[in-house]
Amino acid sequence: MQKLTFPHPFQHEHPPVRNVNQLVEEKYTFAHRAADLVAAIVGSWTFIVVQTVFLAVWATLNVVAYVRHWDPYPFILMNLFLSMQAAYTAPIIMMSQNRQAMRDRLDAQEDYEINKKAEEEVRAVLEHLAAQDKALGEIHAMIAARSTA
């Protein structure tokens, strides 16, 4: 009978799992928070409804104004304000999206690292199970040899 051997216990030699949310929060600046806030506000139904009501009131007041039209049809002043709003909000939203893309890359990298760790641990478990299978086979053979003797 050969001596039963088992693999050495698995040693966790990898860095601990990191919380991606915490890593991202630590790197946030005032500009990041502001860009995210603007993107959240401008990208909401509340903003769309409020802006629609505001533009409808603007147009109505300038069409039916009895005293003074501050922006008569075709509403050039309103168009100027909307253009300025678009000129500022588009780059701010892009900054927020770029930051989100950076976060997604960090998330994907962390997922990859966790998958590598899991694969390493599964391999160790499978090696240990294979050693146990071999040991059980040896023990079974010993029992069978004793019972026939």
> CA dist 93 to 34, 39, 50, 107, Å?
10, 5, 19, 21
Model confidence band, residue 3 (pLDDT cutoffs 50, 70, 90): confident
> Residue 92: inside a domain, yes or no?
yes
Range of the domain at 54: 29-148
Mean pLDDT, residues 52-79 taken together = 89
Instruction: Compare 75 and 17 and report the one with higher pLDDT.
Output: 75
Residue 118 has pLDDT above 80, yes or no: yes
Please report the pLDDT score of residue 36 as a whole number.
92
> Residue 2: inside a domain, yes or no?
no
78-112 pLDDT, tens digit each? 999 999 999 999 999 999 999 999 999 989 999 99
- How many Å apart are CA 137 and CA 135, to the nearest integer? 5
Mean pLDDT, residues 50-74 taken together = 89
* 3-state class (DSSP) for residue 4: coil
- How many Å apart are CA 138 and CA 135, to the nearest integer? 5
Residue 7 has pLDDT above 80, yes or no: no
Please report the pLDDT score of residue 2 as a whole number.
64
Mean pLDDT, residues 37-54 taken together = 95
The number of folded domains in the chain is 1
Residue 4 has pLDDT above 80, yes or no: no
> Residue 16: inside a domain, yes or no?
no
DSSP conformational letter for 120: H
> Residue 123: inside a domain, yes or no?
yes
Please report the pLDDT score of residue 1 as a whole number.
54
| Alpha-helical segments (H) within 1-149 | 20-27, 30-42, 45-64, 76-148
Beta strand residue intervals within the chain, DSSP E: none
Model confidence band, residue 10 (pLDDT cutoffs 50, 70, 90): confident
